[in-house]
Structure formats: C-alpha cells, structure tokens
C-alpha cells in the first residue's frame, strides 16, 4: 500500500512539474521591435538613432554589477543597461516602453493595445498572483517576465526584465 502511494505521488509530481514547465514564459527571448535582453550597447546604438540621455553608473550590491539607465524620451523608451565593470561595454538588462513608442512585442502588443488583446496574446503565461485585472498583467513573474500596465483598459507601459530581485 505504501509503495502504491509513493508511486502515485511521484506520478502526480511529474505531471505537475510538466504542467508548470509548459506555462513558463521565456521572457529572456521576448523582443520589442529589434530590442531584446542581452543586446550589446553597440547594436543598441545602431538600432536607435534618437537622442539618448544616460543616468549615472551605479554599482548594485545585490549583483556587484554596474547599472545605468538609458532614456530615449522622444521614442518612449528606457533601457536598463548593465556591465561588470564601470565604464565597460554594457548590455540590455531591462526594456520599458511608454507613449509615444510605436514598438510592439513579438506577439503584436504595443502601447494602446487593449487588455483583452494582451490577455489573448499572453494569457497562457499570466501570473495570477502578481497580476491585477484592470491594472497589470504579468507574463512570467516580477522576478523575470513581461509586465503590461493598463490605464482605462489600454496598455500604458510595457516592461521586460526583472522588476524585483
């Protein structure tokens, strides 16, 4: 009897882990236009010709890396950039788009898309605990995912990356 219970628990565990794996969202592969996490600053400069405002480089104790915010206000784009050493070449750690950005995710979602359109495109990856209908849909998690903020039923901001550590 004990042996049958153990086997049944193992089967349930395997099925449960497969179901969870099926709904995991590969946020690190998500793109907004031609931008994606890990893209080098050299390529970023080739893709985005607009005026850039850089914040200060700051070393964060949590990961020991240098973080810097790159803003392209005319494009509604902010990139979180990161490097291992101060002044070293950086790569994209996070992407935030707001109005007037015309960029879209790989699934065709951009600023102004409806909450229903986001739910249709990202619903299978929706994190129910972290999402708030009418306010926020999290595909993946706040530790790594795509977050859609809503105002009046429409996307007002898209964030790709880790919003929490």
The three-state (H, E, C) secondary structure of 34-46, written as one string: CEECCCEHHHHHH
In which residue are the tokens 């065709």 written? 108
How many C-beta neighbours within 10 Å does residue 91 have? 16
Measured between its terminal Cα atoms, the distance across the chain in Å is 44
Mean pLDDT along residues 108-122? 97
In which residue are the tokens 């010709």 written? 49
Mean pLDDT along residues 92-117? 97
Structure tokens belonging to residue 56: 């200060």
> Has residue 22 got a pLDDT over 50?
no
pLDDT tens-digit series, residues 72-99:
999 999 999 999 999 999 999 999 999 9
How many C-beta neighbours within 10 Å does residue 60 have? 11
């Amino acid at each position: 009897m004990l042996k049958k219970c153990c086997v049944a628990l193992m089967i349930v565990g395997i099925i449960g882990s497969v179901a969870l794996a099926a709904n995991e969202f590969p946020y690190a592969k998500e793109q907004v236009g031609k931008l994606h996490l890990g893209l080098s600053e050299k390529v970023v400069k080739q893709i985005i010709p607009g005026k850039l405002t850089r914040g200060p480089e700051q070393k964060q104790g949590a990961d020991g890396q240098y973080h810097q915010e790159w803003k392209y206000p005319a494009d509604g784009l902010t990139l979180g950039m990161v490097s291992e050493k101060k002044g070293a070449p950086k790569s994209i750690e996070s992407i935030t788009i707001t109005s007037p950005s015309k960029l879209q995710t790989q699934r065709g979602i951009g600023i102004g898309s409806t909450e229903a359109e986001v739910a249709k495109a990202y619903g299978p990856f929706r994190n129910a605990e972290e999402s708030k209908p009418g306010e926020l849909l999290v595909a993946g998690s706040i530790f790594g995912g795509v977050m859609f903020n809503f105002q009046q039923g429409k996307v007002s901001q898209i964030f790709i990356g880790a919003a929490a550590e």
